[in-house]
């Protein structure tokens, strides 16, 4: 799968049962449609099939107008359970994060004034995808086992790859 396929959630239609469930949830509730103008892209563990029980849906967005983005988030998602909205700094960038629950899934919408493909979350996913393709099924199962022990995704990859230092940075520097 070329990384460009991650840009459109249609690949989930023929994926694992969880991926198919997520596709239905995203499309039936128009989540991606509401965020289309922001280049909404599902990232994280579910696209990579390394999710565990309780893994959330991470949706990355590029914000051109923060006020409009916040209005869209509030209008489209504030009726969902446990809706929260925060403005924080992540990787030295002003970031808007919305969280809510829908059909037993926690959804996190992450927006920055940075193109989605240049955001750390997207870059991590692509590098992890390539590593999983190279290392195979046993490696994927080892990642899942570490995640079940409480490891976050990037630290799990760093541990198995023997990467030193900050796992979020060292993974970005990893050559596949």
pLDDT in tens, 71-97: 999 999 999 999 999 999 998 999 999
CATH of the domain at 27: 3.30.460.10
Structurally, the chain folds into a number of domains equal to 1
- Counted residue by residue, the chain has a size of 176
100 touches 81 (CB < 8 A): yes
Task: Residue 105: give the domain boundaries.
Answer: 3-173
Is residue 2 pLDDT above 60, yes or no? no
Handedness of CA 60, 156, 2, 26 (dihedral sign): negative
Q: Which helix (H) or strand (E) holds 112?
A: strand 105-112
Contacts of 83 (CB under 8 A, 6+ apart): 77, 98, 99, 100
Segment 17-75, tens digit of pLDDT = 999 999 999 999 999 999 999 999 999 999 999 999 999 999 999 999 999 999 999 99
């Amino acid at each position: 799968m070329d990384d460009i396929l991650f840009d459109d959630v249609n690949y989930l239609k023929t994926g694992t049962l969880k991926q198919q469930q997520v596709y239905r949830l995203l499309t039936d509730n128009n989540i991606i449609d509401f965020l289309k103008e922001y280049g909404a892209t599902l990232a994280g563990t579910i696209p990579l099939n390394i999710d565990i029980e309780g893994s959330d849906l991470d949706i990355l967005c590029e914000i051109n107008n923060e006020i409009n983005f916040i209005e869209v988030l509030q209008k489209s998602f504030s009726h969902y359970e446990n809706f929260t909205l925060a403005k924080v700094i992540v990787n030295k960038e002003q970031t808007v994060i919305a969280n809510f629950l829908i059909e037993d899934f926690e959804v996190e919408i992450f927006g920055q004034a940075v193109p989605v493909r240049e955001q750390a979350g997207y870059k991590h996913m692509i590098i992890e995808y390539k590593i999983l393709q190279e290392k195979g099924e046993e490696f994927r199962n080892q990642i899942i086992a570490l995640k079940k022990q409480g490891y976050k995704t990037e630290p799990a990859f760093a541990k198995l790859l023997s990467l030193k230092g900050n796992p979020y940075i060292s993974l970005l520097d990893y050559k596949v």
